[in-house]
Amino acid sequence: YAAALDVCDRSLPQSDYEAKFSLQHCVAAALNREAIDFAAFTGTARAELAALRERVTLRLAEPYASAYPYAWGSAVTVITRGGERLTVRRTHAKGDPEIPLSPVELIAKARMLMNYGGVHEADRLIDAILALSDDSVLPPLPEMPVFLAVQQNFGV
C-alpha cells in the first residue's frame, strides 16, 4: 500500500531508526536472521545485510493497496538462485487484531523489550503481570525507579 512505501522505502538506512523503517532492510533481515530484534538494526547488521538489501525491490500491488487501511497485508516473493519463485502472502500483519501474537510470542517480545530497556528482572515482572489475571494479590515488584514511583503514587 502507498503509505508503507511513502514511509518505509529506505534502501540505504543510515541509522538503527532508519533501518527499522526500511522495508528493504526488514526483508533482508527476515531472510537472513533467526529473529528480528534490536541487533538486526545496528550498524554491523546494516553492513552485513547491505548486499541482500540492494536486491530487494518494492512495488505497490493489489489486493493490498486497496485494502489499506483496513488491512496491512503484503506479499513477498523470493527468486532462488535456481530461478524458483517462492511467494508468501498475508492479508493482515502479524500482531494486528486479526493475527495476534500468541501468549508465548507476546511474553518473548515483552522480555526482549524489557531487557533492552534495562529491566534486570524481566521474568519476575512478567510473572507478576500474568498473576494479575488470577485475582491474587500483586506480588512485590522489582525495586526499579519506575515501579517505586507506581508503588508510591498508587500504594501498590
Cis amide bond preceding 97, omega within 30: no
Name the grid cell of 134: 488470577
Task: Identify the residue with better confidence: 131 or 107.
Answer: 107
Q: How many CB atoms lie within 10 A of CB 60?
A: 10
Residue 153 confidence (pLDDT): 55
Note whether 57 and 124 are same-domain residues. Answer: no
**What is the number of structural domains in the chain?**
2
Read off φ and ψ for residue 76, nearest 5 degrees: -125, 130
Note whether 26 and 49 are same-domain residues. Answer: yes
Read off φ and ψ for residue 132, nearest 5 degrees: -60, -30
Residue where a domain stops, chosen among 64, 90, 116: 90
Per-residue pLDDT for 144 more than 90?
no
Going by pLDDT thresholds of 50, 70 and 90, the confidence category of residue 156 is low
Note whether 78 and 9 are same-domain residues. Answer: yes
Residue where a domain stops, chosen among 60, 90, 120: 90
